[in-house]
Chain A
Amino acid sequence: MAKVRFIQRHSLLTRIVHCTIAVACVWLMISGLFVFIPPLAAASPDLARFMKITHRIVGVIFICMPIFGAVGSPGGVKAFFGKYLRKWTPEDFEFLKKFVPYMLSPKKVHMPDQDEVKSGQRFADGMLVIGGVMMAISGMALWLGTTVCPLPAGVLTVMRFLHDLFFLVMVVFVVAHIFLGAGIFQPYRGGTVKLMFGNGQVSEANALYHWGFWAREELEDGKNVVVKTVPDEDRKRISSKASLGTEPDATAKLEEAPQD
């Protein structure tokens, strides 16, 4: 049996909120296309109307879920902004500078260590947050402004423009987010998807690769470190996701790894 160390990166609440928003966001994009792309609406107005109604229902979920998360964990909100609005380090700038070359040549270009949230993540997630907020505001205006709370035509035109504009922004950043987060890009494969759609834990090796500064701090601190025992034959399977630790930290929790 081998011991493998993991770091608990995301709480259950974070994962539930992210998962719900992710599904809602994808559905909003699909249903929104039925208004955005005329041939889709023209081909089946009934389906387009159904999509429009689901767009509104799911839109409410999309808006309410972050609020639910914020109410459930005010400290988490504070930590979130603390992570994202921190001062940029030289490594952060280096990361952004190398990002495109790295994406095109990951075998040759090596990225600098990063804190808990990479600079690229901060930029991309920031765009998603801004885009999401703008979509929510303009979407609510388009909805309520054409039903129970009529808005002037000029305001509706501006809101429609913003809704379309930030839809484009969201498409770019959501697709890129899925490409990296789901591990479609091979260097990101091996567990990143589980961070949000699994147990929220990242293996030591993966953490050191993606967020070097943060991983070392966490491993030294030991508070969020989980040690799992796995069969030796499974070590290779986990090789890209985990490493064998030396002696686990005394504060680390010991868990039995799932035999999947």
Chain B
Amino acid sequence: MATLQKELNRVHLDEQNPAVTEEKAILFDSSRCSGCKGCMVACKTWNKLPSPLELNSQKEGWQGSLQCPYDLGPNTRLTITFNEDGADRMWGVNWAIGRRACMHCTDAGCVTVCPSGALYKNEFGMVSYDREKCIGCSYCKGACPFDVPRHMGTDDLSGVSLRINKCTGCPDRIAHGMDPACVSTCQPGALMFGNRDEMIKIANERVAVLQGKGFDKARVYGIDEAGGTHVIYVLKYGIEQYELPENPSVSGLTAASEIMKPVLGVGSIALAAGLGLCFLRGVGYKRDELRYDEVNHDVIDVETGEVVKHIDKEAGER
């Protein structure tokens, strides 16, 4: 498998099939998802991401939910969320099944803040990365409005092995006309993959059907959020059941931090210029050599012997 993957990766996309360079998207239809988690298994299998095998060994611990792992992790790029709204009722549960993974934003904060260029947007519009370039600064974690990026090697205090791990959108598969691993294994057809425009069209049609069936809160998510994501959601129930922010946006502090780079550049030039001017103005400076006669409280010019200042102690001078 490893050899095959390396071979696949070597093929240059544009030479093979220029048509696949169109903007792509994954469509997740929550109304069709059965919560089988086959997509999670496919993701781990294709990307060789291990899972702990010991009983109840997930770091997050047992949450009393089908949602396990409970959150994304160093080796978990995708998890299926389960929300049991209405569980306080005697019967009838609005069991909302969601999907948590990278949303592949158009306005990707993680790409903006990545100092080494490890994170980038590929030709499909997906946010991918070159792990060899990752320096483990973890800035992407704070910049993501969906709290998605996770890092491997977090148990290493030195940070030597700290590297990003998140959904890449399987660009190696896409480049060869294949669906991302998660999509390829979805039995009920909740996951689809194709041109983004087409996925949005399908999503809108599906929402219309759902609303027609009485699911008033059904909506499409991802068309405009974060500049337009490359994972489009059909939400069967209200958004509050899907661990998704209503208005995802990159934190203002992240933007402010980015502004500091040009500020530092301009400030450094200004500082250098200012100090350079001071230096030039100070060239040739000479001052009289003074000494202090502590008996008579006189400050005396050494060369001339002249008293330049008398300290009147009785008057309170120092």
Contacts and interface: CB of A to CB of B under 8 A. Distances in A.
Contacts of B122: none
Given A104-B278, A171-B264, A52 B137 contact: yes
A36 B157 CA distance: 21
A41 B130 CA distance: 13
Contacts of A244: 291, 302
Contact of B282 (A106, A222, A249): A106
B139 interface: yes
A105 interface: yes
B281 A243 contact: no
Interface string A76-116: 00000000000000000000000000011111000001000
Interface string B55-97: 0000000000000000000000000000000000000000000
A139 to B, nearest CB: 12
A165 B151 CA distance: 25
A185 B282 contact: yes
Contacts of A38: 114-117, 261
Contacts of B294: 216, 219-220, 222, 249
Interface stretch (B38-46, B202-210, B248-256): B248-256
B236 to A, nearest CB: 28
Interface band, chain B: 35 or more
A186 to B, nearest CB: 4
Nearest to A215: B292
Given A147-B156, A179-B275, A45 B290 contact: no
B273 interface: no
A157 B115 contact: no
A146 B141 contact: yes
Contact of A147 (B154, B278, B293, B318): B154
A180 B260 CA distance: 26
A143 to B, nearest CB: 7
B281 A105 contact: yes
Interface string A195-231: 0000000001100110011011101101000000000
Contacts of A243: 289-291, 302
B289 A239 contact: yes
A161 B291 contact: no
Nearest to B135: A48
Contacts of A215: 292
B135 A156 contact: no
B118 interface: yes
Contact of B155 (A103, A147, A153, A164): A147
Interface string B9-45: 0000000000000000000000000000000000000
A23 to B, nearest CB: 21
Interface stretch (B142-150, B190-198, B217-225): B142-150
A150 B155 CA distance: 10
A246 B261 contact: no
A56 B277 CA distance: 36
B239 interface: no
A246 B305 CA distance: 11
Contacts of B115: 34-38, 41-42, 48
A167 B302 CA distance: 45
Contacts of B138: 142, 146, 156
Contact of A209 (B137, B271, B287): B287
A34 B136 CA distance: 12
A41 B114 CA distance: 10
A209 B285 CA distance: 13
B133 A45 contact: yes
11 contacts: A36-B261, A38-B114, A41-B117, A49-B135, A107-B284, A161-B256, A168-B267, A171-B264, A187-B285, A217-B318, A243-B290
Interface of B: 114-118, 132-139, 141-144, 147, 151, 154-160, 162, 251, 253-254, 256-257, 260-261, 263-264, 267-268, 271, 275, 277-279, 281-285, 287, 289-295, 297, 299, 302, 311, 318
Given A38-B116, A41-B135, A246-B295, 20 more contacts: A35-B139, A103-B278, A107-B281, A113-B318, A146-B154, A148-B157, A153-B141, A153-B144, A168-B263, A172-B267, A176-B271, A179-B275, A187-B285, A205-B290, A208-B292, A212-B299, A216-B294, A222-B294, A239-B302, A249-B294
Q: Nearest 10 A-B pairs (CB), nearest first?
A: A157-B142, A243-B291, A41-B116, A186-B282, A146-B138, A156-B142, A42-B117, A161-B253, A41-B115, A186-B285
Interface of A: 5, 34-38, 41-42, 45, 48-49, 52-53, 56, 103-107, 113, 142-143, 146-148, 150, 153-154, 156-158, 160-161, 164-165, 167-168, 171-172, 175-176, 179, 184-187, 204-205, 208-209, 212-213, 215-217, 219-220, 222, 239-240, 243-246, 249
